[in-house]
Each structure stands twice: as structure tokens, then as C-alpha cells.
Amino acid sequence: MLLGLSEDQEFFRETTERFLTERVPPDAVRALRDDPTGYDPAYWRQGAELGWTSLLVGERHGGGTISGAGLVDLSLVAYEFGRHAAPGPLVAANVVAGALSASDAAPEVLAGLLSGDQIATWCAPAVGGDGWEPTVEARRDGSGFTLHGQAGPVESAAQAGHLLVTCRDGEGVTQFLVPTSSEGVSVAPLHTVDLSRRFGAVGFDGAVVSADAAVGTPGEASADVDRQLQVALVLLCAESVGAMQAGFDMTLEWTFDRYSFGRPLASYQALKHRFADMLTWLEASHAIADAACLAAHYGSGDAAELASAAKAYIGQYGTELLQDCVQMHGGIGVTFEHDLHLYLRRFTVDRASAGTPADHRQRIATLLEEREGVAA
């Protein structure tokens, strides 16, 4: 990240970096390939003790920030997660924790998230060029609701004890906190290229929830979902930039160490030009990710636009950067034993999550059209 950090923030980032380096080195990440959970629960609890799940939670609920800007602090963790291809449902758990704290809902579940003893995840709406749209419908049934539809891909769906489900109902948008064990809820595993992340398709076939399970005001959750989506996009972008930085640093070191015809690869003009392009993309990605993070934290009027701009730019140029890193490594770059693919895998999943670059380019156009329409 290019943000000017305070001493406390830099210490927090360095602490996270040291912890991830020690607990999940590349060999440990590779070893998670066949692990059904994708992470060690004890590792996640230790991360929660470091503050990974509390930065978007109000102090009255046991949370707190490093700098007073919780989302900025959390983006530092996400960046280090990308640099280490680290396991754990960082984005999903924090989106849910922030939503529960903001609405004063489910204090027992929130306490479990803060301690790392529980996992909760977000059954998010589908994101497209025209915005987001819930894929689950809530039908009023007496004093409660029945849920119908399917959400996916949902991170850590099989590992989560509770699901924050964004639903369309007859009055608007409502979110419910639903136990994964509820009757009518099913989870089908999905495959992903990331070695440690686990996703599932969550089905709702008449699952019954009470009105008390609503998170926020029933029928009026659109603004909450907008906020949650901005948080998710900011964290995904920060993590993506971390993966880009790791791949770039690794490749730069390789080209200085690797010799061809008696000269280091880095001395060849063609590669110098390519590195200049890659560094331009990397620095711009840092900048736009930081700008989106600050806009979302302060609730700026252009926060949604900047979040989509960051997702679109990073998704496009990060792919080129990491693919170039693979090419510069030659044959070794495509082996499982080399570390480079860990960052390409992490970036690929982040790129596809919460809308593709094409979706977000269209979203920017839609937002600009809406703004011009209001101005007219």
C-alpha cells in the first residue's frame, strides 16, 4: 500500500506480516491443497487475537481500530494476505462482523467472530454491470419468512455456522442471519483454483426464518448492502495488489539472479521495458486501491465509482502483470513446486469475486449516466 501509515499502523502491518511468514509459508499453503477446511482453526483464532476480525466492529461490541479508520487498517491485513496467499475467510468474516455490529444484531454470533471460534459468511447478491441483485427471495409466511433460491459462490459456506443472506422481499431488500444447519439450507462444494479458499453454492428450499433474524430494518437493507459490497471490493483489491507485489518482487529478484549468455536477465533491454510497464501497472494499482479504500471509509459520494474503477483496473492489469511474471520465469514458472502460482491463483479468484472487470466497467458507465441524469 502507498498510504502514509502511522507508527501504530506500520507496527500492526509488520506484526501481521511476521505472523503469516511464520505460520503459512508457501510450503504450508501448498499443503492445504487437499484440506477440506483450507485453514487451521487454531491459526484463525490467533489471527482474530491479532485483530483481524474486530476492525469493523464498534467498541461497544468488543471491537476497535488501530488508527480510527477501521477499513484502512483492515486493508493492511488484506494486502498482507495477498502477499502471502494466506488462508482464511478474511473478507467474508469481516463483512458479516461489520454488518452485525452496525445493526446491533446477534451479539453471540458476533462474539464468536471476534474470538475466531465461529465463522460466518455472506450470501451476497449477484454483481453485474447494472449493480447488484439478490438471488434469494424471502416470502412472508405468517410472522416469519421462507427463503427460496441459491447463492454462490459463497466463501467458506461449508465451514460457516451462520449465513448473512441478502434477500429480495415484497417490500425491498432484507438481510437475515441464518444458521447453516437450518432445515431447507444446503451447501454444495465448488471447485476453485486457489489452494486454500473453499467455496460453496448455498441453496434455500423453503428455509424458515423468523422476523427476529433480520439484520437491519426489513425491506430497507439496500444501503447496507451497498456498504458491504464496497467493503468487500476494497478488501479484494488490497489483497489483489498484495499478490501482484509479491509476484513482481519475486520476478525482479529472479531476473537479477538468473544469467543468460553471461549476463543477468535484468540487463536485457526488452525485459527492462517490460518491467517498466509492470511497475507502472503496479504503482497505479496501489494508488487506485488506496483511493477506493479511503473513499469507502469516509463515505465519499464517489466511493462506489472508485471501488468499481479499482476492481476494473486491477483486474485487467494485474492479470497481465502476473502472467508476465510467469513468462519471465520460463519453464520453472509453471511448476507446482515454484511459489509464483500461489499468487496468480489468489489473484484469479479475487478478480472473479464480486463482479468481473467488465462488470465494473459497465457499472462505472451506469453510475456516470445516473449522475448526469440527476444533474440534468
pLDDT, one tens digit per residue, over 70-122 is 999 999 999 999 999 999 999 999 999 999 999 999 999 999 999 999 999 99
Residue 69: is its pLDDT beyond 70? yes
Spatial contact of 164 and 95, defined as CB atoms under 8 Å apart: yes
Name the band, by pLDDT with cuts 50, 70 and 90, for residue 1. Answer: low
pLDDT digits (tens, 9 = 90+) for 295-336: 999 999 999 999 999 999 999 999 999 999 999 998 899 999
Name the band, by pLDDT with cuts 50, 70 and 90, for residue 375. Answer: low
**Sequence ranges of the domains in the chain:** 7-118, 121-213, 222-375
Query: How far apart are the C-alpha atoms of 214 and 177, rounded to whole Å?
Result: 6
Q: What is the DSSP letter of 19?
A: H
φ/ψ of 187, rounded to 5, equals -130, 120
pLDDT at 2: 64
Class of domain 121-213: mainly beta
Helix (H) or strand (E) holding 94: helix 90-103
Instruction: Give 232's contacts (C-beta < 8 A, 6+ positions apart).
Output: 91, 95, 122, 124, 353, 354
Class of domain 222-375: mainly alpha
Quote the cell numbers at residue 295.
473513499
Spatial contact of 102 and 224, defined as CB atoms under 8 Å apart: yes
Of 4-8, 104-108, 353-357, the poorest mean pLDDT is in 4-8
Name the band, by pLDDT with cuts 50, 70 and 90, for residue 268. Answer: confident
- Tell me the mean pLDDT in the region 267-290: 93
SS3 127: strand
| Amino acid letter, 37 | T
| Amino acid letter, 246 | A
First to last CA, the chain: 38
Helix (H) or strand (E) holding 210: strand 199-210
Give the strand pairing for 162-169 and 120-123.
Answer: parallel
Residue owning grid cell 443472506: 165
pLDDT at 36: 93
Cis-peptide into 153, omega within 30 deg: yes
Name the band, by pLDDT with cuts 50, 70 and 90, for residue 34. Answer: very high
Instruction: Give 364's contacts (C-beta < 8 A, 6+ positions apart).
Output: 305, 308, 309, 312
Residue owning grid cell 486454500: 196
Q: How many CB atoms lie within 10 A of CB 144?
A: 16
Quote the cell numbers at residue 115.
474470538
Q: How many CB atoms lie within 10 A of CB 331?
A: 7
- Tell me the mean pLDDT in the region 275-300: 96
Q: How many CB atoms lie within 10 A of CB 322?
A: 27
Question: CA dihedral defined by 154, 157, 158, 163, rounded to 10 degrees?
Answer: -150
Class of domain 7-118: mainly alpha
